[in-house]
Structure 1
Amino acid sequence: MVAYMFLYPFVALFSVFCISVSSGQYANFNKLELPQGVSGPESAAFRGVLIFSVGPYTTVTDGRILKWLGPIVGFVDFAYTSPRRTKQFCDGTTDTEKGPICGRPLALSLHPVTGDLYIADAFFGLLVVGPQGGLATQLVNGFKFLTGLDIDLSTGNIYLTDASTVFDIRNTTQEGFALDHTARLLRYNPNNRQLTVLLTRLYGGGGPAVSKDGTFVFVPEFLDGRVSKYWLVGPKANTQEYLLILKGNPDKIKRAEKTGEFWVAVTFGFVPRVYPMIPSGFRINSDGVVLQNVSFATQYPNKSISTVVEQGGKLYVGCRNTTSIGVYSN
């Protein structure tokens, strides 16, 4: 295992407080309801594009990955991460103490060529499952609290965020978690199965996003409100620069449909807790410049959101405290 951690001088540093949004943007709202008794759609992922897309796939609190089959059928079981999981013991549970048996997948990333679905699970680490679903194969474990991942489309490498080396998902309300700075950015090479630590001493995880050309990866620090760029190639390779400092908590970052743009799921007032909490989606470019801010406060009052995924001109919003995925459109 090789570790790199060089800090490039801070450039393009922004502090974001409030950004106006033009009226009428993503004004329509619908919901994709989970099966009865199921909650916590933390993430969303699609296979294909536009009219040929399949999904969304989502992760839920009881340890399953579900797949949307349209409004008539709804969500159905697709995959799971724990070989010990049983439907009788796990389905519908919100008890995190059952996580070591049921699993708790938190993030998804689909490989566009192979169709394989990569999964970050808080208890079972990095896993992969094929297009037919079923029990996922564990690729690497030993994480305390794996929260996010993304695939480098140019190399096939997988970039991971480990939210802490001290606390797991069951300990997030404990004293000291809000100040924890043991999160890491890691890279997994599926060809040689090597795991490399790229960054340490981060303040909380979220979900990284690799640029489409594979030149850098955006890294959110949930507890400290920062978004940085870690360069993968070129003269700045293996260096980090901070681009955004937010007065909120950035969670997962996802590539937008337009090349060079990204969506950041941000909740204001979550850590430290201040009411009202305001969940928002920030569309940024490769330089970290905020292009758009969409508020989800009307449909998600005083709730934190975990992901914003753009697909077919719509925004799919994941939230750990709901029983549906929100869909915003123009």
Structure 2
Amino acid sequence: MISSLSTISLLLSLCSAVISVDAFFQKLLLPGDVSGPRSIAFDSTGKGFYTGVYGGKILKYTPETGFVDFVYMTTLSKSSLCHGIVGPLLLGFCGRPAGIALNEKTGDLYVADAALGLHVVSPAGGLAVKIADSVDGKPIKNLDGLDVDPTTGVVYFTSLTSNSYPVNRDWPLEDVTGTLYKYDPSTKVVTIVMEGLFRSTGCAVSSNGSFVLVSQLAGHDIKRYWIKGPKAGSSEDFNILINSPESIRRIGSTEKFWVVSAMSYSYGVNQSAVVLDSNGRESRDLQGVSIWEENGDNLVSEVNESNGSLYIGTFTGNYVGIYKLCKP
């Protein structure tokens, strides 16, 4: 059994041999008892990034300062009550940032909080401002993925389910109440884009703003919703071959996307990550990666790429992992 990420070997299709992670892998340890860097968003300088953690905080990292508190989801997020991994009863008081993404034109950081709804944070950081926790009088629950359309600033985000399950992963697989929403900052209105999804987790908008992808963890596929063009307003299968797609992240200004998948087995979860092009075809991958600790709780939540490195987020880990990609 593999005991830690630092002992795993990767086979990158963009290289010609198995790569030793010890030579390319780095752990950026989170401060104190902070854990669960679930999603990663890069700042506009390209030198730093943000990540949301348990207890209702978003940290900012730069090489000069390391990790510092940048955002509090609630006023209680600053207190010792919200330190560490908090239980379901405290999530409504502390918050749990899930998906995050930056509007590079305005500097605003948008947050899909699993327990508290959609929020926005100014470039100065501080206390997050709630945008919405309901649509047409119906609560928005269990938020997960989020992305910002780079051409319009419209925010797309997902809800895994509209049912009142605890904020965890052990929900009935037949649940088809997942939803894709959008928020238009110009009108300040949240609307429903797609309903009836099988535990919709990640979402990502194409660099030209023509479509948004949404993953169905229990549906074992990825849907494409057309935002503009001749197919605008319609949806279609984008990829039906990836088992349990979790998160989706666009690679910079390209039309390629990192997708993390998680296939459950009796002894744990075997995870992998692939890059899909704009046609849903795999163009490179991380082969044979079992990204889990011996206790089975260090599941990878996201893979995001910037400046030749992969940034690895986890649901409960105490670090952000960085893989330096080898040159082709």
In structure 2, list runs of 5 or more residues that go unmatched.
Answer: 1-10, 135-139
Give the Å deviation of 1:125: 0.9
Distance across 2 between alignment mates of 1:136 and 1:214: 26
What residue identity is the alignment partner of 2:184?
Answer: N
Aligned to 1:195: 190
SS in 2 for 1:179: coil
Give the Å deviation of 1:315: 0.4
- The 1:323/1:44 distance shift into structure 2, 3 A limit, reads same
Aligned-residue CA RMSD (Å) = 2.1
- Deviation string, structure 1 residues 195-221 (Cα, Å, up to 9, x no partner): 221111100121210001010011101
Aligned to 2:6: none
What residue identity is the alignment partner of 2:25?
Answer: F
Which sits farther off after the overlay, 21-30 or 308-317? 21-30
Aligned to 1:8: none
Q: Which residue among 3, 7, 17 is the counterpart of 1:23?
A: 17
Aligned to 1:211: 206
Distance across 2 between alignment mates of 1:258 and 1:300: 30
Aligned to 2:8: none
TM-score, normalised with respect to structure 1: 0.85
Is it true that 1:229 corresponds to 2:221 in the alignment? no
Q: Which residue among 143, 150, 154 is the counterpart of 1:153?
A: 150
Aligned residues: 303
Which sits farther off after the overlay, 118-127 or 19-28? 19-28
Which sits farther off after the overlay, 257-266 or 279-288? 257-266
Distance across 1 between alignment mates of 2:119 and 2:200: 18
SS in 1 for 2:90: helix
- The 1:135/1:144 distance shift into structure 2, 3 A limit, reads same
Give the Å deviation of 1:277: 2.2
Distance across 1 between alignment mates of 2:256 and 2:19: 17
Give the Å deviation of 1:275: 3.1
Give the Å deviation of 1:299: 5.4
- The 1:222/1:299 distance shift into structure 2, 3 A limit, reads closer
TM-score, normalised with respect to structure 2: 0.86
Give the Å deviation of 1:131: 1.5
Distance across 1 between alignment mates of 2:106 and 2:83: 29
What residue identity is the alignment partner of 1:41?
Answer: P
Q: Is the 8 A contact 2:60 2:67 kept in 1?
A: yes
What residue identity is the alignment partner of 1:214?
Answer: G
**Structure 1 outlier segments of 4+, above 4 Å:** 24-27
Distance across 2 between alignment mates of 1:157 and 1:258: 16
Distance across 2 between alignment mates of 1:161 and 1:309: 18
- The 1:129/1:152 distance shift into structure 2, 3 A limit, reads same
Aligned to 2:33: 37
Distance across 1 between alignment mates of 2:181 and 2:65: 38
Q: Which residue among 54, 67, 74 is the counterpart of 1:61?
A: 54
Distance across 2 between alignment mates of 1:96 and 1:33: 25
Aligned to 1:287: 279
In structure 1, list runs of 5 or more residues that go unmatched.
Answer: 1-18
Distance across 1 between alignment mates of 2:273 and 2:217: 14
- Deviation string, structure 1 residues 275-313 (Cα, Å, up to 9, x no partner): 352222210101100111114736535543211110111
Distance across 2 between alignment mates of 1:145 and 1:69: 30
- The 1:204/1:26 distance shift into structure 2, 3 A limit, reads farther
- The 1:25/1:242 distance shift into structure 2, 3 A limit, reads farther
Q: Which residue among 232, 247, 256 is the counterpart of 1:252?
A: 247
Aligned to 2:170: 173
SS in 2 for 1:321: coil
What residue identity is the alignment partner of 2:55?
Answer: D
Aligned to 1:120: 112
Higher relative contact order (CA 8 A, sep 6+): 1
Distance across 1 between alignment mates of 2:282 and 2:174: 27
Distance across 2 between alignment mates of 1:184 and 1:252: 15
Which sits farther off after the overlay, 130-139 or 19-28? 19-28
Q: Is the 8 A contact 1:209 1:218 kept in 2?
A: yes
Distance across 2 between alignment mates of 1:20 and 1:68: 27
Distance across 1 between alignment mates of 2:132 and 2:32: 33
Aligned to 1:47: 43
Identity of aligned residues (%): 35
Q: Is the 8 A contact 2:115 2:167 kept in 1?
A: no
